[in-house]
Amino acid sequence: MRQRMSDMVYEVQDLICQSLLALDGVEYREDTWTREEGGGGRSRVFSGGKVFEKAGVNVSVVHGTLSPQAAQSMGGGHELQGEDLDFFATGVSLVLHPKNPMAPTVHANYRYFERGEGKKPGSWWFGGGADLTPSYLFEEDAIHFHQVHKDVCDRHEVADYAAFKQWCDDYFFIKHRGERRGLGGLFFDDINGASKDDCFAFVKDCAHSFLESYLPIIERRKDLPFTSEQKEWQQVRRGRYVEFNLVYDRGTTFGLTTNGRIESILMSLPLTARWEYCHSPEPGSDEFALVELLKAPKNWL
């Protein structure tokens, strides 16, 4: 499974990067890196194009020994002790930040983790998901994004769309703001309730469905007209994105506490963002409507 998952995430990285290259017309920067404790990865970042201000697709295949702090940062109720602190992890992670404020940011991550030799009950699991973070609400985009992921879940007995959608809304919650980061999607962790083959098939299907979930949206929104005020609002929303990733995101914490590659870990952050003192949108505005929805998520399907 270690090899199958590693091969899959590299394949998905290639497929997604080929599509982004065709869409934006600029070549990505590629960095192949190694980790002193074991393993490495491949990072690809796009910038300077017409569509994306910053976009990154990363793959990592790492192994080593977790510190107690790193083990605790994983969450999910894992109690790692003794030899169980030895680990293997691989995954693909992407974040795309478009230039146009009418086009939503998107994030996806799919991963596999083993502790010890991965043979004991509970010593292996899959995780991941995808979520949409717009600055302006287009309901058809949210419906499309959620429908693609529900269709994936419906193809696999191990998956539960309603539960994973709720998990996503709960996880991407900025507690100090009282609002979600975006319009949700899927989030799941500790997926090991079926065979490794069945769990892998679900995660592979999710990863290969990313382009179907996002490309129609970015094609519809990337060339829409916008004002300087709308661009400023996008920068404010990106500030919220930064706050979640640096304060609450478990993946960021795990990477930083396992001596991960800093540039790859922080690739998810936007190139630009904005924080205005006591900023609040005008009641009745499109911006106000979005924030109200982030405070009270809805079911899109």
Catalytic residues: 107
Query: DSSP label at 281?
Result: P
User: Under a CB-based contact definition with an 8 Å cutoff, are residues 252 and 265 in contact?
Assistant: yes
Residue whose token pair is 């998107």: 106
Residue carrying structure tokens 């991960």: 260
Burial tier of 99 (Cβ tally within 10 Å: 0-12, 13-18, 19+): middle
Bridging pattern class, strands 179-180 and 173-174: antiparallel
Question: 16 in helix, strand or coil?
Answer: helix
Distance, in Å, from the CA atom of 288 to the CA atom of 297, rounded to the nearest integer, reads 14
Rounded to whole angstroms, how far apart are CA atoms 168 and 173?
Answer: 9
* Strand pairing class (179-180; 86-98): unpaired
Backbone Cα Rg of the chain: 19
- Cα(57)–Cα(80) distance, integer angstroms: 29
C-beta separation of 231 from 14 below 8 A: no
CA atoms within 13 A on the CB side of 67: 12
Cβ neighbours around 171 below 10 Å, total: 20
